[in-house]
Structure 1
């Protein structure tokens, strides 16, 4: 962590010096010399940090030295942030100056008070830098006594050299995994001709990858099937020559006198040519394809059913090897984890003693969360303990507090940790701030990393992009698990294994704290002066009972549960906060004015603060703020006018259906860094001086993801709408156009406005609401949204539906409350393509009160909705017939009908029921709100006539 912190500080120093030159914002005389000297000293210290971090586990004095270094690095980061903020505020002041122009900037003279305040602030920063320079000099001198090795030290946790032998009687719970691997080892595959058949077992350290490979390698069917079996422990680094020599020795060939790679390859090829071989490459770390290619090319001469079995912690290794099959190895199930623990812990213990300790033992085993290495480590520990009190002490201890964790678990995890580059080490260890078993939102995690300045955004790469790459790298290395993915296959949520979380806690020591208020105030005296990131878990509805002395150094404050009256009393202490998450507080009606003093704040989550009514104008002083989340703050009526000064704001999260928020302040268009803007509310004519006009959207060129535009019904000038440049926002994927207004413009004017609102071509989801014109805009008639997957048309006044059947990727279509539509027919299908609605799976019509007739006919050679899986018809009062064509489905259709009286009446006829049943409808959900007795009759009739239905 110290290495990453120093890297951040050095990068910021270099950046700020450049800004100082460019902006002509100088500090006091002489401080530049201090900064250059400080930079040189920090670089010298950083050169030995890698060695210090590896020695801290064994040497207490080194650990103390590192903690002091990290504390100084945090102080330096705080000072540099103050300096950066002063430069940023100077930019904002110049932009706000009424005399601002390109010619007059240099002549603009601020008031004497502002000048004095600036000079005093810069002098204060300069003094702090000088003080930190002295501390860095002291710690650099102290480092000499430790004889650190400059980067990079070769001393690492010892890597265990694995062998193929395994005691099957000591293995629990891997039968299914073993059988899956055996099927791929022994089965014939059509993929064989594509190259070497490679099977990769991927999982976190200690999960049992090597054991699984040993089980497969020694299985009697494998021994009989392959002519040659070869086991090589690769570890790191991946050196082809060494692997060649190991392979030769496993083939019982003498390699001791051969050093030439070419000769080694020829010898291997002679041994395996035309023979079925199994090669196990255990513990592979390297992702370099060129090194792998040398080995792969050497092995291609083997028999047609040869196999390579790889174990690795990194999914990227499996991808690099172009594995034919990747087997993600999960933790042991609870019962098998307990069985393994009992097998070890109760060895040579009598039946009576085992029975006495069984219940406690099961709870201890559960602490391991299915990680075999942890189960074995704790089982071995308990094997030496017979006293029930000793067992209870282990049960009640945090796993990371036990010596066995440091001796047996940490080394296995340290290998993965040391394999990370410094920025990823920092990002991983920061995750210790989350409570155990917490579901982590990936976007939230990335924004928290951004708030701490952990993400490298050099070379024009966005911080969000870097954060996603960092996460995917950590996920590939098995630092995260239990992934939840969206429809596009991107990971949106995950968890950390408890053992990995414990390891992160050890790395962060007193930096990341999780404090729990258990109602008995057991931790009131806990000092947070060394803590930099804290999560507070509150169980009592009365609020927090902690003593918050010495909390001024906190950079992160996350509060879980209701926080009661905490904020008004303690708000001013957290002056160095980068991230504050107080979501779900029922106590906050108004955010205190003091929030404006949190100049370092970059992440503020106020979501689900349901009583929050106002945000203070002082929030406009948070010029570093990147994320503001006010989702589900239902009573929040407006945003501060000064929000336009939040020029660093990248993510403004709000609710589309917000009942209170009626407008956005004028000047939102100045927030050119915005990536996320959930809702854009167009002001009406009455609020034109204070509200936000549609044309301000044109400045927000970086918008992406989801956007709802409300209040479009008041816009009359299509020219203003064109300035919004909606069609150029190509990274918007989810868009809602809401034309609702109490004072609607004339219909054809609305059509011109809608024409100018042409959505971007990459849109995946679109909603159009309250469109009050008889004609659809051309962009929807032309079906130009070729990437669209979901579409909702709601409360629109058009008399017919557009030709949506031309949309090639549309999967879900919902049409509701369109009361001018009486007929649906060929116009919906379109006429250009051979297949109408080629991808449509879900079709829904709701509250179509005037809809009378629905015709769907397949012309010769043309198909209609071939992929349809579900059809919903609800509150369609006048619709009498469902097109027979839609009911002829294979696989069967899911049909939902509710509050459709004529359909319900028609369904009473036996022929109607028979058509459904003979057409193999898998489900028929009919909700008879008007005719409950008829429903009962039909229910009995179906099971009487069709007992097998």
Structure 2
């Protein structure tokens, strides 16, 4: 009524986001004005003295957003640092300080599995064994604690290292640097005027700077007061704007006058934030639910956005694809960083938020997002803090017997994410399932969950349910199938859960069903009703009828929206015509297909593979436990978009198919193909040397791996006159890994001469290693030009 009285109208502001001119998410640090301090830091890390203490600790101190972590990363990855130390270890300390978590992180960086270790003393003993008399370089990033007692046991453990070992600490607090016992300190200042402009210009302009925009840009940079994070944030915002009016709007924004937050950081973030459409604002602020330094899984985040109704299906575009666009948008504006990418296709799998960006997100949500550590809380204080909370993450770091009752009684909560970091956790949560307001519920790694209460049916708005890694979960109630709004059900790694409810067909809005292969005994009937499914990671094909309860592969006929599909137990299929009724070829949205036959012993597998026939736009194909003698169905040449191919446990295959004919292939993994003794030129898809001259073989292949090829002895080379071979076979190859090939004698020249080969790994190959080992191998000269060569014994 008041809106109408004042004549207000609601409009949705939209902006056009252009993709950057260079490759997205390059994630290469843009470091300006730090050359002198970098050399000073290297000098303190690499120069040794007999008078130095047993543990030499160097600290970098400066305010948030000044570039401490960037500088530490810069020196951490320099080649002369890599060669100077026996071990390099990176640990983000952050808040709250947790000795066990930090110690486990150190141990895992050394290559050990700390997940099953309990007790600080046990973990520290393992660290001492690894570092005994070794020269190590340990970075402790983002230290806050000023209590010296927190460090005593860890410091004593690290004394086992040899003289010349170094610890590098980054912190905002000078007192924290003194507490940890820093022997030298570098106070990191702001960038100069020229350095600030250089950084801003590199980000904001894709080419030459427009004179009008440059004048405004210099004034904006001056307001950033030399802080790299502020400069990077605004540069990322303005590179998508092309007229001076938009730049003037940023320059004259009132956000620069804000006083109730950190004036040097939040104003630029606010300017960039208020430039976002309303939907993106919600998506960004939701990220406040994660703790600082949390590794955010991209796909999980998009599904959580979906659960909150932040994403809507558009014409010809799924919510998931819209979520991908939103994620890219936020990443291009520097709200995300530290991207981890898939080694095969380069896609982003996870990211983190800078701690100042996280503080900003918390500021925006005004305590609506709440993070609590269950092992260290006061019930009354927690109840007060949760008063306005809509999203909450609970982290269990130590064993407890009960769930905070005040959380169970909060009817405003829309998201509740519970993650255990202690394998002994024994939380109970029965009352929680009375909460009908939740849109997203996650219980991960909680030992005491054996079944889900029938009361879950009350959660009528639930869209996201993640029960993964609950190793004692045995059963899902049929009442779960009343949650008709459910979009995501994740029950991965629930190894005692062998059956799904028979009423699964009622989940008509389910889009993602994530389960492990060969754990669920069969897929219940009604599967054909799940027409919204985008992800069906393991469609289980049973060897028995289970009393008519199981559905057949033909029930997939109407699931036309599938994008990711996996089969388990394809060897159990009895009727090939039933395979054809699945009609995979017409599932034009299908991008990823996993074919796991289970027993891998039948030549009949070839007939089944031929009958499956996926659509030609398939991007990823995996073939596992396959019993056929050949891996070349007639339809494979039609896969003109195929980028990744994985062949694993194809036991009866004696020859590799002409995979070089797959012109779009970027990653090829071949493992446990035991019967192959020789890789011949037919593998390249060429018939003669003459053909090789006139074509490019594997033109886009970047990653090539051969693992566990126990009978492999020879890899045919091809001899051509002249140098044409170097540019026609695998011209894009970047990474080659050969593992557990004990009888392989040598590598072909056409591989070693691939012009872009940057990384070669040879693991457990007793004949290859002495042949190519640096300085002593007879063929070392053939690989000496490759920048990164690693041997593992």
Identify which of 721, 732, 744 aligns with 2:590: 732
Matched, 1:810 2:665: yes
Identify which of 579, 593, 596 aligns with 1:721: 579
CA distance in 1 between partners of 2:355 and 2:395 (Å)? 17
Q: CA contact under 8 A between 1:625 and 1:649: conserved in structure 2?
A: yes
In the TM superposition, residue 627 of structure 1 has moved relative to its aligned partner by 0.9
Matched, 1:617 2:489: no
User: Equivalent residues in 2 for 1:124-163 (5 A)?
Assistant: none
User: Equivalent residues in 2 for 1:399-548 (5 A)?
Assistant: 404-405=260-261, 415-457=271-313, 459=315, 461-476=317-332, 478-484=334-340, 486=342, 491-509=348-366, 511-517=368-374, 519=376, 521=378, 523=380, 526-527=383-384, 528=386, 530-544=388-402, 546-548=404-406
1:594 maps to: 455
Deviates more, 1:755-764 or 1:783-792: 783-792
Q: CA contact under 8 A between 1:672 and 1:699: conserved in structure 2?
A: yes
In the TM superposition, residue 768 of structure 1 has moved relative to its aligned partner by 1.3
Identify which of 504, 510, 523 aligns with 1:664: 523
Identify which of 908, 913, 932 aligns with 2:777: 913
Change (3 A) 1:768 1:429: closer
2:222 maps to: 211
User: Which runs of 4 or more aligned residues in structure 1 lie more than 6 Å from their structure 2 counterparts after TM superposition?
Assistant: 182-185, 189-192, 197-203, 212-216, 406-412, 908-912
Give TM-score, length-normalised by structure 1: 0.54
CA distance in 1 between partners of 2:706 and 2:189 (Å)? 57
Q: CA contact under 8 A between 2:191 and 2:226: conserved in structure 1?
A: no
In the TM superposition, residue 849 of structure 1 has moved relative to its aligned partner by 3.6
Matched, 1:779 2:665: no
User: Equivalent residues in 2 for 1:163-242 (5 A)?
Assistant: 172-174=190-192, 177-178=195-196, 180=198, 209-211=220-222
Task: Give the secondary structure class of the aligned counterpart of 1:721.
Answer: helix
CA distance in 2 between partners of 1:499 and 1:414 (Å)? 12
CA distance in 2 between partners of 1:457 and 1:512 (Å)? 26
User: Equivalent residues in 2 for 1:625-636 (5 A)?
Assistant: 625-636=486-497
Change (3 A) 1:212 1:737: same
2:240 maps to: 319
Change (3 A) 1:311 1:433: closer
Bigger radius of gyration among the two: 1
- How big is the alpha-carbon RMSD for the aligned residues of Structure 1 and Structure 2? 4.6
**1:649-695: CA deviations, max 9, x gaps?**
1111223xx45333322222211111122222222244372223211
In the TM superposition, residue 46 of structure 1 has moved relative to its aligned partner by 11
In the TM superposition, residue 619 of structure 1 has moved relative to its aligned partner by 0.9
User: Equivalent residues in 2 for 1:287-366 (5 A)?
Assistant: 313=234, 315=236, 317-321=238-242
1:762 maps to: 617
CA distance in 2 between partners of 1:314 and 1:830 (Å)? 48
Q: CA contact under 8 A between 1:892 and 1:921: conserved in structure 2?
A: no
**1:504-531: CA deviations, max 9, x gaps?**
4454445433334453526456254543
CA distance in 2 between partners of 1:921 and 1:481 (Å)? 32
Q: CA contact under 8 A between 1:441 and 1:492: conserved in structure 2?
A: yes
Task: Give the secondary structure class of the aligned counterpart of 1:526.
Answer: helix
In the TM superposition, residue 787 of structure 1 has moved relative to its aligned partner by 3.1
Gap regions ≥5 residues in structure 2: 12-187, 248-254
Change (3 A) 1:685 1:182: closer
CA distance in 2 between partners of 1:872 and 1:504 (Å)? 42
CA distance in 2 between partners of 1:755 and 1:49 (Å)? 59
CA distance in 1 between partners of 2:367 and 2:736 (Å)? 57
Identify which of 680, 689, 700 aligns with 1:825: 680
**1:574-621: CA deviations, max 9, x gaps?**
122111111222221222222122111111111222222221221111
CA distance in 1 between partners of 2:470 and 2:708 (Å)? 34
Change (3 A) 1:430 1:782: closer
1:682 maps to: 541
Change (3 A) 1:661 1:530: same
CA distance in 1 between partners of 2:198 and 2:541 (Å)? 58
2:647 maps to: 792
Task: Give the secondary structure class of the aligned counterpart of 2:777.
Answer: helix
CA distance in 1 between partners of 2:482 and 2:565 (Å)? 26
Identify which of 480, 496, 501 aligns with 1:640: 501
Q: CA contact under 8 A between 1:761 and 1:786: conserved in structure 2?
A: yes
CA distance in 2 between partners of 1:678 and 1:199 (Å)? 50
CA distance in 2 between partners of 1:190 and 1:44 (Å)? 45
Q: CA contact under 8 A between 1:626 and 1:649: conserved in structure 2?
A: yes
Identify which of 559, 577, 592 aligns with 1:700: 559
Q: CA contact under 8 A between 1:639 and 1:664: conserved in structure 2?
A: yes
**1:87-108: CA deviations, max 9, x gaps?**
xxxxxxxxxxxxxxxxxxxxxx
CA distance in 2 between partners of 1:480 and 1:501 (Å)? 10
CA distance in 2 between partners of 1:409 and 1:920 (Å)? 47
Q: CA contact under 8 A between 1:709 and 1:738: conserved in structure 2?
A: yes
Q: CA contact under 8 A between 2:743 and 2:767: conserved in structure 1?
A: yes
2:153 maps to: none
In the TM superposition, residue 645 of structure 1 has moved relative to its aligned partner by 1.0
1:579 maps to: 440
**1:231-271: CA deviations, max 9, x gaps?**
xxxxxxxxxxxxxxxxxxxxxxxxxxxxxxxxxxxxxxxxx
The structure with the largest helix share of the pair is 1
In the TM superposition, residue 816 of structure 1 has moved relative to its aligned partner by 2.7
Task: Give the secondary structure class of the aligned counterpart of 2:623.
Answer: strand
Task: Give the secondary structure class of the aligned counterpart of 1:663.
Answer: coil
Task: Give the secondary structure class of the aligned counterpart of 1:405.
Answer: coil
**1:266-316: CA deviations, max 9, x gaps?**
xxxxxxxxxxxxxxxxx9xxxxxxxxxxxxxxxxxxxxxxxxxx9984746
User: Equivalent residues in 2 for 1:98-117 (5 A)?
Assistant: none
Q: CA contact under 8 A between 1:524 and 1:545: conserved in structure 2?
A: no
In the TM superposition, residue 500 of structure 1 has moved relative to its aligned partner by 4.6
Q: CA contact under 8 A between 2:523 and 2:539: conserved in structure 1?
A: yes
In the TM superposition, residue 703 of structure 1 has moved relative to its aligned partner by 1.4
Q: CA contact under 8 A between 2:560 and 2:589: conserved in structure 1?
A: no
Aligned residues: 590
